[in-house]
Amino acid sequence: MKAHEPLVYEISAPGRCGVEMPEPDVPLSPLPEELLRDDLPLPELAQVDVVRHYLRLSQLNYSVDTGFYPLGSCTMKYNPKVNEQAARLPGLALTHPLQDPETVQGNLAIMWSLQEFLKEISGFSGVSLQPAAGAQGEFTGILIIRAYHLSRGDARRTKILIPDSAHGTNPASTTMSGFTAATIKSDERGNVDLAALKAACDDTVAAIMITNPNTLGLFDEHIEDVINAVHDCGGLVYGDGANLNALLGVVRPADLGFDVMHFNLHKTFSTPHGGGGPGSGPVGVTEELAQFLPGPIVELDHTALEDEKLLLYNLVMPENSIGRIKSFWGNFGMIVRAYTYIRVHGPEGLRRVAEHAVLNANYLQARLKNTYPIPHADRICMHEFVAQGIVEGSDVRALDIAKRLIDLGYHPPTNYFPLIVHEALMIEPTETESQQTLDAFVDAMEKIAQEAKENPQLLKDAPHDAPRRRLDEVKAAKQLILCATFPQD
């Protein structure tokens, strides 16, 4: 299957238009000729060609709606269709962010409720829905930690501890916030190495950024010791909430002693990944830190109901806020979807989500551990685990296995991450997959292991049955064609 779809510019013809705009119904005003551009090199397409073009492009994509997508650390669960309907309700979608709060009490009610839901799920006292994505939530969290230390007149804390199993965004967020990152290694059971941590804990530590369960899919067996060690030296504990799907109704991060955490509404709460965004990365904090949250956030006037005031909900800037982290109030469309998801689950439903995400991961781990090396298969994993793309008696690599999975109808797991596992294949099935789907995936992985021994070239040349075969990334970076050439007229 080698579908070739031309670029929009290649199906353009002068004079075509995909939609007609009405004639002006007001008298025309003279245009400022000296400020006008000569040409506008946009494509010109008939509407039917626009639709066919993008529909054919869509068919070149693999997606959750077309198949199993066990991409570790990304929580590619099913995206409920009711969420999409909810976010498109005209009463919600057709509201302007700067309308008077009195005219958008419905929106503010949803935002306030989601703030409350997230507080209850995480145990935190304050939540801001403003950050646009996980990476931005993380950056926000580190700015809050900075503001906290500075508010106490403590400017010596310049160091952020980051375990070697962390997401790449963690060190980058640290630098953006003006801190330096210090790496802490993992021990042989995949936990943070306590001795190494304690040796690094001093009065220059601003915080530790910790992902728990970590990127190996393991719940740290000494999480309370880790948190205490950092608190004892005056540092705060930042939780990367990317892996919260394993913890819904199982444990509240604030109860463990975390001070700040971001949520990924697009992972845990089923808002779609959109081919790489939009995400949404709300931040939760302890009572002490709530004053530093970015804003505005939504507050409920408890007296308003009795007094029959119309303004029940309002937008308020936290007292010592780090400031505004994006325009307006947050990715509202994602907030509506996450609200919808939490409402159809309720407390028991959310716990079932975590239980079945963990059940599915452990089932896959148990069924795959005799075929592929899994460094920590002796432990119960959480929502994901990391296998190694190594087959005894074959020189194939994780990448070859990943590409061969494409031929067999699957999206590959995350490969070469986390960096601490050689030839990593990070597998996260999520709770929305059935035993049949998981069994079929195991069959495919076993077939590939067999092929690796018998015909390794088959894997090295994979994929064979995809819209494209392996693409030359070096060529892309070298020739640097980043936009189409516009037809010259």
Partner 1 sequence: MYIPHTDAERSEMLKTIGVEKLADLFRDVPEKVRFPDLRLPPAVSEMEVMRELQNISSANANLGEFPCFLGAGAYNHYIPATVDYVLSRGEFYTAYTPYQPEISQGTLQAMFEYQSMMCALTGMEVSNASHYDGATSLAEGIMMAVAVSRGERRKIVISPAVHPQYRQVVRTYTQGMELEITGDALRVQAGIPDIVKLLDANTAALVIQTPNFFGQMEDVTGAQSVADQVHAAGALLVVVADPISLAMFTPPGQYGADIACGEGQSLGIPLSYGGPYLGYFTSRKSLVRQMAGRIVGETADVDNARGYVLTLSTREQHIRREKATSNICTNQGLMALAAAVYLSTMGKCGLRAVAELCYHKSHYAAEQIAGLPGYAVDQNKPFFQEFVVKCPTSVARINKHLLQDHGIVGGYDLGQDYAHLKNHLLVAVTEMNTKDEIDEFVEGLREFALKPRKPANKVLPKKTVSKKTGAKKTARKSARKPARRAR
Task: Report the residue from 209, 226, 285, 325 that binds partner 1 according to the rule CB under 8 A.
Answer: 325
358 binds partner 1 (CB under 8 A): yes
Q: How far apart are CA 144 and CA 291, in angstroms?
A: 9
Which of the stretches 229-237, 282-290, 370-378, 475-483 binds partner 1 when contact is defined by CB under 8 A?
A: 475-483
Identify the residue among 217, 375, 412, 429 touching partner 1 (CB under 8 A). 412
Question: Considering only residues 196, 314, 320, 367, which one is a binding residue for partner 1 as defined by CB under 8 A?
Answer: 367
Strands (E) across 276-338 are located at 283-285, 297-300, 313-316
Under the binding rule (CB under 8 A), the answer on residue 163 touching partner 1 is no
239-278 binders of partner 1 (CB under 8 A): 249-252, 255-256, 270, 272-278
Q: Give the one residue of 374, 406, 448, 459 binding partner 1; rule: CB under 8 A.
A: 406
Beta carbons of 447 and 408 less than 8 angstroms apart: yes
Interface residue with partner 1 among 188, 306, 348, 392 (CB under 8 A) is 348
170 close to 136: Cβ distance less than 8 angstroms? no
Tell whether residue 349 is a contact of partner 1 (CB under 8 A): yes
CB of 378 to partner 1, least distance (A): 11
Query: Which residues between 297 and 316 bind partner 1 (CB under 8 A)?
Result: 300, 304-305, 308-310, 312-313
The contacts of residue 451 (CB under 8 Å, 6+ apart) are: 404, 458, 459
Largest CA distance in the chain: 80
Nearer of residues 327 and 392 to partner 1, judged by Cβ: 327
Among 232, 287, 344, 457, binds partner 1 (CB under 8 A): 344
Q: Check residue 34 and report its DSSP letter.
A: G
Nearer to partner 1, 116 or 453 (CB): 116
- Decide if 128 contacts 321 (C-beta within 8 A): no
Which residues in 63-122 contact partner 1 (CB under 8 A)?
63-66, 69, 71, 74, 76-80, 82, 84-100, 102-110, 112-113, 116-117, 120-121
Instruction: Kindly state the helix (H) or strand (E) to which residue 399 belongs, with its residue range.
Output: helix 398-407
CB of 181 to partner 1, least distance (A): 5
Q: Which residues contact 471 (CB under 8 A, 6 or more apart)?
A: none
Residue 29's identity, in one-letter code, is: S
Look at the block and give the residue holding tokens 């031309």. Answer: 6
Place of tokens 């075929």: 371
Strand intervals (E) in 115-179: 126-128, 159-163
Looking at beta carbons only, is 447 or 464 nearer to partner 1? 464
Tell me whether residue 316 or residue 453 sits nearer to partner 1 (CB atom).
Answer: 316
φ, ψ for residue 89, nearest 5 deg:
-55, 130
Sequence-ordered list of residues with C-beta below 8 angstroms from that of 422, at least 6 positions apart, any chain:
388, 390
In whole angstroms, the minimum distance from the beta carbon of 393 to partner 1 comes to: 26
Residue with tokens 């066919």: 52
CB of 36: closest distance to partner 1 in angstroms? 6
By CB under 8 A, which span of 229-237, 283-291, 356-364, 386-394 interacts with partner 1? 356-364
Residue 358 Cβ vs partner 1, minimum distance, rounded to whole Å: 5
Nearer to partner 1, 5 or 187 (CB): 5
Q: Which residue has the tokens 């296995």?
A: 401
Question: Residue 160 pairs with which residues in a beta bridge?
Answer: 181, 207
Amino acid at 95: T
- Within 382-401, the residues that bind partner 1 by CB under 8 A are none
Tokens found for residue 85: 């309907």
Task: Tell me whether residue 11 or residue 196 sits nearer to partner 1 (CB atom).
Answer: 11
